[in-house]
Amino acid sequence: MKNWDIVIGLEIHVELSTKTKIFCGCSTAFGAPSNTNCCPGCTAMPGTLPVFNEKVLEYAVKAGLGLGCEIQRYNQFDRKNYFYPDLPTAYQNSQFFFPICKNGRVDITLPSGEAHSVRIHQIHMEADAGKLIHSPAGDCTYLDDNRGSMPLIEIVSHPDMSSAEEVLAYLAHVKSTLEYLDVSDCQMQEGSLRVDVNLSVKPAGSTTLGTRTEMKNLNSFRAIQRAIAFESERHIDALESGGELVQETRRWDDNKGESFAMRSKENAQDYRYFPDPDIPPILVSEEFIQRCRDSQPEFQAEKAARFVADFGLNPKDAATITADRKIAALFEETAALAQSPKEVSTWLLGDMMYHMGDRGLESSALTINPAAFAAFANAITGGEINRTAGKQVFEYVFDGGDDVPAYIKAHGLGQINDDGAIKAAVDKVLASNEKAVEEYRAGKEKSFGFLVGQVMRELQGKGNPGQINAVLKQSLEA
Amino acid sequence: MQITNLTALEVGAEIRAGKRSVREAVLAALDAIGATDGQINAFITVQNREALLARADEVQAQINSGILASPLAGVPIGIKDNICTKGLRTTAASKMLANFVPPYSATVVERLEQAGMIVIGKLNLDEFAMGTTSESSFFGPVKNPWDLSRVPGGSSGGSAAAVAAGEVYATLGTDTGGSIRLPASYCGVVGFKPTYGAVSRYGAIACASSMDQVGPLTKDVADAAAMMDVLKGKDSRDALSLDLPDTSYLTALSGDIRGKRIALLNESFGASVDADVQARMRAAAETFRGLGAEVTEIDFPLFDYVMPTYAVLANAEASSNLARYDGMRYGHRAEGARNIEEVYRLSRGEGFGPGVVRRILLGTYVLSAGQYDSYYKKALQVKALIAQQLDAIFAEYDAILCPCASATAPQIGETLDPQKRFLADVFLAAANLAGLPALAFPAGFDAAGMPIGAQIIGRRLTDAEVLNFGFAFQSVTDCHKRTPGEGAGV
């Protein structure tokens, strides 16, 4: 029986994928040379003024609706005042007094199949800061203002999670929802989705929350999982050994696998929030909210259910495929053209995922042509190629190839379905593998598989596996 | 007649008629600056002579070919040095920005240049527009052209002094709590603070964003209206700028104010108001009556709350607006800092003068945890009450009449008590709190021959009407035509 309850809440910072920044016309494109996506406005030159990008409001409202929030009609931006070199104005524009969304709730399904709910306290809009890059020699720090004034939303959950499993399921749900809404590309590596974990530990069953720490710099699901394990253990150790926990912000070091104190609450800054007098209040109309609601896409859960119903997928595969909006779209387009949607899902979940992982590709980088993918799947279903040759053909499709029949022909990958050719190969293999044949006849089933492999090798991997099995069995028992 | 004694519209008309060249107008301004500015110190930066003459020729060609239709085309002007001018140093009269050259121009500068006006240079002011005397400039104090031992008022002291001294025909100032109107009053020129939002703030270095407005200082009201025709209107770069009808304020000047109701504030005759000022206010009221307006004396019960409210809000906003001057990207950066904290502390400590530091400290205090509710939030509530009370007055009256200041310009160094200096704006800041248009115009002189300014405050968006009150006044008076040369000045 466990003695401690872990209590976790998340703050998720999401960079919105609007074309321009939140208060100026600069591009938000990722990867531009340093300090090229900035202007007098987002570098806070004297006399410049912020002009709010209405697209940010639209994206924030869509995100709020997607996460079950109430949309607030009156909005303003407030200044959060503090000095830091990555903050040119020396105040961050955020929504302190009147956040755009409140009281959300998402219902998630844990890997165990169990249902769980996480309440969302609020979502607010804000401007990102620039990026400091410390020189490896440690002698200077560079500043890149490209990220400064990028639009962000911060999604603040209630402390409704008690394990890494719940956190990851919640995070996956939020990420998928935002991706389906196309309001963010949610790339954790590029920093467009950043997670702060607030964690505390209390005696099992207690209603009083323990001392909370906040962990920053969590760049992947894996880092989050490890950080929660480390931090909850650190809390429990401290509590069990009578040590003291301080409320503080900690930085997760993924290389060391440890968290380190950044600043404690005693050193907390007084941000002197006040309404930004340069930005007029933003009133959100009921019509605007309705338009955002009407434009909502089919989200993951609905889509997965439909894939089960329409394409006969099992729920687990449907969940995996729909976890990524772009992969779901690829599946759906391909399956519509294929004789067997199941064949499509098999290759998509198998070889496609393998190649993506192997090459480190995100779904956004996929160049697969759905028509070619379908032609490939149909070639498998129709017995034109077998699975072994299929691996080579699939890689061609994965790389963007679009003429599957021509590729099969050019590379001689067509399946050998001719009984005579297969019989000849079987005879040859039996003649040169007497030991294996004897073993099989003595009852060693494994030897059968070995012989199948030899026949397939004889046929250069192109033999029809069903026929090989049948002919081999017949010959052995003759 | 010296060309510099003409008004901006008169010079513009002569240029269009071919009686004067733009070059002559520019050279006359440069000569006047050369002759007088060593004494009054109105300019921080004067444009390069060759560049100005090239610009003059360019504008002349455009006038000749009929491209430029503005009645102010070719007129030399000056810009307060807290308004950004592309490629021309913009200092806010602070060590902090002593070498700052903006890569952009303020919208108001772009508009004046598009109309063919010629920016001769940048005008001195109180550091970051914080002050009422123009003594706090890093570039030395401005002197009053009427009496060099006196201040010109602030913060737009250079803007008022340059017009009064005939160095340029018109200038731009900024007004957060009276910074256009106080120096206009002390220097005997016209100063207009438009309705909040009527003129873009883009490129004007922020003091207190919710009250800052750019406006003209000119020799007479017609010039101010002509300047406003160029300046006013929506700017996509200032979210608080207003879409205004495209009607000309200049054309709207009829001088007819018959039947208009004017509320004369009883506070104009308070114990702290000089007898000469009181006398000129009574005379002004008579003048308006003579023009067919009805003048009624009324109380403004919240008068005493104007300055405390203004102080809290202005300092709070300024403390945040001035935080960007941190020595990181531009502006003064201290030598010898050993860490980030020291870069901030030393750069800001060295870059800002004591008046600016005091306001930043006060503003930081009123926004801090535990003080916000009792100061900033309370001030916002009182501001709303003041605006309501003014609305109630405007439900019955078309305009409010009061002096700009309790007295004429003080001696340089006389008002060293910051609190006393601050209270110079007591008649002026209400218009900023409520975002109302307000006009300062010459209403006579005191016994020492120093100018006294009267003020007309109007309803929001009645800028043209406010200007018309002043225009009517000037159509029957001539104190605005007197220049320092005829009086005690240079």
Indicate which of A269, A278, A283 best probes the interface with B, i.e. most B CBs within 10 Å of its own CB. Answer: A278
The answer to the question of residue B338 being in a domain is: no
The confidence score (pLDDT) of residue B420 equals: 63
* Shortest CA distance from A141: residue in chain B: B340
- Residue A366, token pair as written in the block: 């996929």
Q: Which of B155, B185, B268, B347 is catalytic?
A: B155
Q: Residue range B364-383: average pLDDT?
A: 96
Decide: helix, strand or coil at residue A132: strand
Q: Residue range A454-459: average pLDDT?
A: 88
Partner A contacted by B81 (CB < 8 A): no
Active site residue B234: no
A 245-304: CB under 8 A from B:
270, 272-274, 277-280
Q: Exposed, middle or buried: residue A450 (CB in 10 Å: 0-12, 13-18, 19+)?
A: middle
Cα distances from A371 to residues A259, A396, B459, B473, in angstroms, run: 48, 13, 69, 82
Average pLDDT, whole number, for chain B? 95
* Residues of each domain in chain A carrying CATH 1.10.10.410: 419-477
In sequence order, what are the beta bridge partners of B402? B455
Instruction: Tell me the HSE value of A386 on the side-chain side, using a 13 A CA sphere.
Output: 15
Q: Residue range B50-57: average pLDDT?
A: 98
B-chain residues within 8 Å CB-CB of A272?
319-320, 364, 367-369, 372
Whole-prediction pTM: 0.90
The confidence score (pLDDT) of residue B422 equals: 65
Q: Which of A90, A455, A109, A134 is nearest to A301 (CA)?
A: A109
Interface A-B, measured as beta-carbon pairs within 8 A, has a size of: 96
Q: Residue range B263-285: average pLDDT?
A: 96
pLDDT band at A226; cut points 50, 70, 90: very high
CB neighbour list of residue A105: distance below 8 Å, 6 or more residues apart: A67, A68, A117, A118, A119, A120
CB contact under 8 A, A278 and B209: yes
* Shortest CA distance from A86: residue in chain B: B328
Q: Which fold has domain A419-477?
A: Arc Repressor Mutant, subunit A (1.10.10)
The answer to the question of residue B98 being in a domain is: yes
- How does pLDDT run across B58-102, given as a tens digit for each residue? 999 999 999 998 999 999 999 999 999 999 999 999 999 999 999
Number of domains in chain B: 1
The confidence score (pLDDT) of residue A457 equals: 87
CB contact under 8 A, B239 and A81: no
What's phi and psi for A475, nearest 5 deg?
A: -65, -40
Partner B contacted by A466 (CB < 8 A): no
What number is the ipTM of this complex? Answer: 0.95
A-chain residues within 8 Å CB-CB of B340?
85
**Residue A310 clears pLDDT 50, i.e. is over it:** yes
B-chain residues within 8 Å CB-CB of A50?
239
Residue B87: domain span: 11-259+402-486
Active site residue B179: yes
The confidence score (pLDDT) of residue A388 equals: 84
Q: Which of B451, B410, B430, B462 is nearest to B143 (CA)?
A: B410
CB A413 within 8 A of CB A393: yes
CB contact under 8 A, B324 and A89: yes
The answer to the question of residue B370 being in a domain is: no
Domain CATH code at residue B234? 3.90.1300.10
Question: Greater confidence, B69 or B381?
Answer: B381
Tell whether omega for the bond before A176 is within 30 degrees of 0, i.e. cis.
Answer: no
CB contact under 8 A, A46 and B367: no
The answer to the question of residue B318 being in a domain is: no
Q: Which of B70, B156, B179, B406 is catalytic?
A: B179
Task: State the DSSP code for A363.
Answer: G
Flag the least confident range among A210-224, B123-137, B385-399. Answer: A210-224
A278: left (phi over 0), alpha (psi -120 to 50) or beta: alpha
Of B205, B237, B364, the CB nearest to A46: B205
Average pLDDT, whole number, for chain A? 93
Q: Which residues in B233-243 are b (16+ Cβ under 10 Å) and which e? A: bebebbbbbbe
**Residue B416 clears pLDDT 80, i.e. is over it:** no
Of A49, A83, A85, the CB nearest to B238: A49
pLDDT band at B419; cut points 50, 70, 90: low
The amino acid sitting at B238 is D
The confidence score (pLDDT) of residue B383 equals: 98
- How does pLDDT run across B12-21, given as a tens digit for each residue? 999 999 999 9
CB contact under 8 A, A46 and B84: yes
Q: Residue range B372-397: average pLDDT?
A: 97
Of B236, B240, B368, the CB nearest to A270: B368
Percent of chain B clearing pLDDT 90 (strictly above): 94
B-chain residues within 8 Å CB-CB of A52?
239
Decide: helix, strand or coil at residue B391: helix
Specify the DSSP element, H or E, that contains B181.
helix B181-187
CB contact under 8 A, A278 and B100: no
Indicate which of A49, A134, A269 best probes the interface with B, i.e. most B CBs within 10 Å of its own CB. Answer: A49
* Shortest CA distance from B90: residue in chain A: A46
The answer to the question of residue B321 being in a domain is: no
Partner A contacted by B338 (CB < 8 A): no
pLDDT band at B490; cut points 50, 70, 90: very low
Of B316, B325, B344, the CB nearest to A274: B316
CB contact under 8 A, B320 and A49: no
**Residue B181 clears pLDDT 60, i.e. is over it:** yes
B 22-61: CB under 8 A from A:
none
**Residue B1 clears pLDDT 50, i.e. is over it:** no
The confidence score (pLDDT) of residue B417 equals: 65
The confidence score (pLDDT) of residue B415 equals: 66
Indicate which of A43, A56, A83 best probes the interface with B, i.e. most B CBs within 10 Å of its own CB. Answer: A83
CB contact under 8 A, B102 and A47: yes
Q: Residue range B391-402: average pLDDT?
A: 98
The confidence score (pLDDT) of residue B2 equals: 46
Flag the least confident range among A421-430, B295-304, B374-383. Answer: A421-430
The amino acid sitting at B62 is Q
**Residue B488 clears pLDDT 50, i.e. is over it:** no
CB A179 within 8 A of CB A297: no
Tell me the shortest Cα–Cα distance from A95 to chain B, in angstroms: 16
- How does pLDDT run across B159-174, given as a tens digit for each residue? 999 999 999 999 999 9
- How does pLDDT run across A227-258, given as a tens digit for each residue? 999 999 999 999 999 888 999 999 999 999 99
The answer to the question of residue B216 being in a domain is: yes
Active site residue B155: yes
CB contact under 8 A, A47 and B340: no
DSSP per residue, B111-168: HHHHTT-EEEEEE--SGGG--SSS---TT----BTTBTTB---SSSHHHHHHHHTTSS
- How does pLDDT run across B106-141, given as a tens digit for each residue? 999 999 999 999 999 999 999 999 999 999 999 999
B-chain residues within 8 Å CB-CB of A85?
326, 328, 340
User: How many residues does this entry show for chain B?
Assistant: 490
CB contact under 8 A, B240 and A278: yes
Partner B contacted by A48 (CB < 8 A): yes
A-chain residues within 8 Å CB-CB of B381?
none
CA angle, residues A44, A50, A55, in degrees to nearest 5: 130
Q: Residue range B253-282: average pLDDT?
A: 96
What's phi and psi for B297, nearest 5 deg?
A: -85, 130
Indicate which of B105, B125, B199, B237 best probes the interface with A, i.e. most A CBs within 10 Å of its own CB. Answer: B237
